[in-house]
Amino acid sequence: MNIFKRHLTALAVSAALMPTAAVQAGEVEVLHWWTAGGEARAAAALKQMMEEQGHTWKDFAVAGGGGEAAMTVLKTRAVSGNPPAAAQIKGLDIREWAELGFLTSLDSVAESENWDQLIPPMISDVMKYEGEYVAVPVNVHRVNWLWVNPDVMEDAGVEIPTTLDEFFEVADKLKAEGYIPLAHGGQPWQDATVFDAVALAQLGPEDYRKAFVDHDMDVINSEKMEEVFSQFARVMSYVDDDAAGRDWNTATGMVIRGEAAMQIMGDWAKGEFTAAELTPGEDYLCAPAPGTAGQFTFNVDSFAMFSLTEDEDIKAQKDLARTILEPEFQTLFNQNKGSIPVRTDMDMGAFDTCAQASMETFRSSAEDGGLVPSFSHGLATTSYIQGQIFDVVTNFVNSNNPDPAKTTDQLAAAIQSAM
């Protein structure tokens, strides 16, 4: 790690010795993987806003692999001393980049724009390293949503379940009517997304945080966790047999077509419903995942800002950071992406009912402590520990004779080995 720091110092020194460059508009290079649909439109809007402020926008879009490909390119660029101004990095990865000394402080912008007042502390903590902002949050996704097809529910004569016990009752009735109660794709991250919701319902926000943020072994290796696993197994028993390897949007399609009644998925699922020209609240319903009403599992996309050398570019970078959090961009971007603004002071009039409900819970849970980072989306823990949990959870789901007690031990061992 010292090598990189030395490298950067060398770069900084050489830059200082260079004659001052001729005055030019700043260039801001942004690494992102918003290349499709509403996301691409959102990125284009940001580009336009930056250009209106007189800066040059250099697009550095790397599609594919949920950002894996982009990360590989970013590592190469950063190590060779030529990082982009901003890169789409989220969750605990921000801290890892900051520890290596690549990121720059945004505190001057944060102070003048009063970020600490705008962003709930749970989220600004993720954006900070050693007390200074090094990244800007773009949006907030709620992960613990239940997406419901109302026609199917009506046909089976059931209401939206609000607790896990109700969910089991409702699911039994749906099954008897010949519907698939829960649409799901058997991929590790989707298994973890459902587990995330069940764990929150079963443990409550406090123990959830202890288990997945602090990795408190008293919670992880406990009977409570065993109970989480047995409830989780019960929830997963309402998934059809062919779920293995299915993509999340295919599962959403099953809800849209009325083959399945419900899906537990983050609010990016809304994009699929919108693409099918359905209206929230009428053609499809959004409700908190069973047992998690009033609680909010957040998944925040963010841009980490890298250390640059040219003054004009640094100015452009700061302008980018400011623009991202401005209400205009927040509204435009989040309407396209299905998420909600990260600022709690926004007027939600222009958003649909699901986003309004999401914002309401976001505000109230930020007050009463029901706001928790989603471990299944990298907001609660490092990618290594997250991966270890994924392995245990997905192995449990796909095991032919799942054993909650044994799996709890495995979970504890897996987390321990990665700490």
Is the Cβ–Cβ distance between 393 and 102 less than 8 Å? no
Q: Based on the shown chain and the rule CB under 8 A, indicate whether residue 344 belongs to the binding site for other proteins.
A: no
Among 40, 227, 382, 403, binds other proteins (CB under 8 A): 382
Report in angstroms how near the CB of residue 418 gets to other proteins at its nearest. Answer: 9
Q: Based on the shown chain and the rule CB under 8 A, indicate whether residue 401 belongs to the binding site for other proteins.
A: no
Q: Decide: helix, strand or coil at residue 70.
A: helix
Of the candidates 66, 67, 59, 26, the one whose C-alpha atom is nearest the C-alpha of residue 43 is: 59
Q: Based on the shown chain and the rule CB under 8 A, indicate whether residue 188 belongs to the binding site for other proteins.
A: yes
Q: Based on the shown chain and the rule CB under 8 A, indicate whether residue 75 belongs to the binding site for other proteins.
A: yes
CA distance 318 to 132: 14
117-125, 239-247, 316-324, 357-365 -> range binding other proteins (CB under 8 A): 239-247
Give the strand pairing for 260-265 and 180-183. parallel
Among 134, 243, 260, 320, binds other proteins (CB under 8 A): 243
112-120, 145-153, 226-234, 390-398 -> range binding other proteins (CB under 8 A): 390-398
CA distance 161 to 166: 5
Q: Based on the shown chain and the rule CB under 8 A, indicate whether residue 394 belongs to the binding site for other proteins.
A: yes
* Identity of the residue numbered 409: D
Binding map of other proteins across residues 276-305, x = CB under 8 A, - = no contact: ------------------------------
CA distance 92 to 108: 23
Q: How many CB atoms lie within 10 A of CB 403?
A: 15
- Give residues 168-187 in contact with other proteins (rule: CB under 8 A): 186-187
Q: Based on the shown chain and the rule CB under 8 A, indicate whether residue 101 belongs to the binding site for other proteins.
A: no
388 token code pair = 């270890």
CA distance 169 to 238: 11
Q: Which residues pair with 286 in a beta bridge?
A: 147
153-161, 243-251, 278-286, 324-332 -> range binding other proteins (CB under 8 A): 243-251
Tell me whether residue 99 or residue 311 sits nearer to other proteins (CB atom): 99
Q: Based on the shown chain and the rule CB under 8 A, indicate whether residue 387 belongs to the binding site for other proteins.
A: yes
Q: Which residues pair with 306 in a beta bridge?
A: 103
Report in angstroms how near the CB of residue 287 gets to other proteins at its nearest. Answer: 27
- The string of DSSP codes covering 238-267 is TB-TT-BT--HHHHHHHHHTTSEEEEEE-G
Binding site for other proteins (CB under 8 A): 1, 3-4, 68, 71-72, 75, 78-79, 93, 96, 100, 186-188, 191, 240-245, 382-384, 386-387, 391, 394-395, 397-400, 410, 417
